[in-house]
Structure 1
Amino acid sequence: MNGTSAPFAARCIVIAAALFVAAPLAGLLQRALSGNGEVWGHLIAFVLPVAVADTAMLLCGLAVVCGVVGVGTAFLVASFRFPGRSMLAWLLTLPLAFPAYIVAYVYVEVLGAFGPVQGALRALFGFRLASDYWFPNVRSIGGAVFVMGFVLFPYVYLAALVMFRSQNHALAESARVVGASPWRVARDIVLPMARPAIAAGLMLVLLEALNDIGASEYLGVQTLTLSVFVTWLNRGDLGGAAQTACMLLIVVAVFVWLERRGRGIGRNMRSFAGHSQQAGAHDGTLLCGWRGWGATLACSVPVAFGFLIPSAYLAQEAIVRSLRNGVDADLLRHAASTFVYASGAVVVTLLLGFGASMAARLIARGWARLCVSFAGLGYALPGTVLALGLLTPFALVDDAFNAVARVFGGRGVGLVVAGSGAAIVIALSIRFLPIVTGLAEAGLARISADLDGAARTAGASARTMIATIHLPLLRPALAAAALIVFVDSLKELSIALLLRPLNVETLSTYVYQFAVRGIFEDAALAALLIVAIGIVPAMRTVRFARPGNRG
Structure 2
Amino acid sequence: MTTLAAAAFRARARPHLDGWLLAALLVAGVVLLPLLALAWTAAQGSAGLWSHIAASVLPAAAWNTLLLLAGVGALVVCIGTGAAWLVTAYEFPGRGVMAWALLLPLAVPTYIVAYAYLDLLHPLGPVQSLLRTLLGYDSPRDFRLPDIRGLGGCIVLLGFVLYPYVYITTRAMFMTQAASLLEAARTLGAGRAALFRRVALPLARPAIAVGAALALLETLNDIGASEFLGVQTMTVSVYTTWITRSDLPGAAQIALAMLLLVVVLIAIERHGRRRQRYASTLRPRPMQRQRLHGGAAWLALAAAALPVLVGFVAPTAYLVAESWQRFDAGGGVSPTLWSSAWNTLRVATLATFATVGAGLVLAWALRLAQARRRPALASLAMRAGSLGYAVPGTVLAIGLLAPLAWFDDGANLLLQGLGMTPRMLLMGSVSALVLAYVLRFAIIAAGSAEAGLARIPASLDQAARGLGDPAGRMLRRVHLPLLRPSLAAAALLVFVDAMKELPATLLLRPLNFETLATWLYADAARGAYEDGAVAALLIVLAGLLPVILLSRTGPAYARQAVSP
Per the normalisation by structure 1, the TM-score is 0.95
SS at match of 1:409: coil
CA deviation profile, 1:365-384 (whole Å, cap 9, x unmatched): 21220111111011011111
Contact 2:519 2:532 in 1 (8 A): yes
SS at match of 1:37: coil
Residues in 1 aligned to 2:272 and 2:238: alpha-carbon distance in whole angstroms: 30
CA deviation profile, 1:48-105 (whole Å, cap 9, x unmatched): 1111110011111101111111111111111111111111111111111101001101
Report the aligned-residue RMSD: 1.8
Q: Look up the equivalent residue of 1:204 and give its one-letter code.
A: L
Residues in 1 aligned to 2:175 and 2:403: alpha-carbon distance in whole angstroms: 46
1:321 aligns with 2:340: no
Distance 1:349 1:372, change over 3 A: same
The residue that corresponds to 1:471 in the other structure is: 480
1:258 shift after superposition: 1.8
1:530 aligns with 2:539: yes
1:133 shift after superposition: 4.4
After superposing on structure 2, the runs of 4+ consecutive aligned residues of structure 1 that deviate more than 6 Å are none
Residues in 2 aligned to 1:393 and 1:279: alpha-carbon distance in whole angstroms: 53
1:50 aligns with 2:55: no
1:293 aligns with 2:308: no
SS at match of 2:335: coil
**Equivalent runs, 1:345-360 vs 2, <5 Å:** 345-360=351-366
Residues in 1 aligned to 2:121 and 2:438: alpha-carbon distance in whole angstroms: 37
Residues in 1 aligned to 2:134 and 2:272: alpha-carbon distance in whole angstroms: 50
Residues in 2 aligned to 1:276 and 1:242: alpha-carbon distance in whole angstroms: 53
1:359 shift after superposition: 0.7
1:138 shift after superposition: 0.8
**Equivalent runs, 1:69-80 vs 2, <5 Å:** 69-80=79-90
Distance 1:113 1:501, change over 3 A: same
Residues in 1 aligned to 2:456 and 2:210: alpha-carbon distance in whole angstroms: 25
**Equivalent runs, 1:328-367 vs 2, <5 Å:** 328-364=334-370, 365-367=375-377
The residue that corresponds to 1:180 in the other structure is: 190
Per the normalisation by structure 2, the TM-score is 0.92
Residues in 2 aligned to 1:533 and 1:121: alpha-carbon distance in whole angstroms: 33
The residue that corresponds to 1:96 in the other structure is: 106
Residues in 2 aligned to 1:234 and 1:505: alpha-carbon distance in whole angstroms: 19
Residues in 2 aligned to 1:112 and 1:384: alpha-carbon distance in whole angstroms: 29
SS at match of 2:18: helix
SS at match of 1:36: coil
Q: Look up the equivalent residue of 1:315 and give its one-letter code.
A: V
**Equivalent runs, 1:134-283 vs 2, <5 Å:** 135-266=145-276, 268=277, 270-271=278-279, 277-280=283-286, 282-283=287-288
Residues in 1 aligned to 2:132 and 2:266: alpha-carbon distance in whole angstroms: 47
Contact 1:78 1:165 in 2 (8 A): yes
Task: Decide which of 9, 17, 23 is 2:19's aligned counterpart.
Answer: 9
Contact 1:345 1:425 in 2 (8 A): yes
Contact 1:91 1:539 in 2 (8 A): no
1:232 shift after superposition: 0.6
Task: Decide which of 406, 418, 427 is 1:408's aligned counterpart.
Answer: 418
Count of residues paired in the alignment: 540
Contact 2:128 2:144 in 1 (8 A): no
Q: Look up the equivalent residue of 1:300 and give its one-letter code.
A: A
Distance 1:438 1:276, change over 3 A: farther
SS at match of 1:265: coil
Task: Decide which of 462, 465, 480 is 1:456's aligned counterpart.
Answer: 465
The residue that corresponds to 2:122 in the other structure is: 112
Q: Look up the equivalent residue of 2:402 and give its one-letter code.
A: T
Residues in 1 aligned to 2:513 and 2:357: alpha-carbon distance in whole angstroms: 27
The residue that corresponds to 1:3 in the other structure is: none
1:423 aligns with 2:432: yes
Structure 2 unaligned spans of 5+: 1-15
SS at match of 1:271: coil
The residue that corresponds to 2:41 in the other structure is: 31
CA deviation profile, 1:106-135 (whole Å, cap 9, x unmatched): 111111211122222322333455454462
Q: Look up the equivalent residue of 2:308 and give its one-letter code.
A: V
SS at match of 2:148: coil
The residue that corresponds to 2:391 in the other structure is: 381
Residues in 1 aligned to 2:267 and 2:248: alpha-carbon distance in whole angstroms: 28
1:443 aligns with 2:452: yes
CA deviation profile, 1:209-244 (whole Å, cap 9, x unmatched): 111110000001111111111111111110010000
Residues in 1 aligned to 2:325 and 2:378: alpha-carbon distance in whole angstroms: 55
1:64 aligns with 2:74: yes
Contact 2:234 2:258 in 1 (8 A): yes
CA deviation profile, 1:119-172 (whole Å, cap 9, x unmatched): 223223334554544622210111001111111111111111111111111111
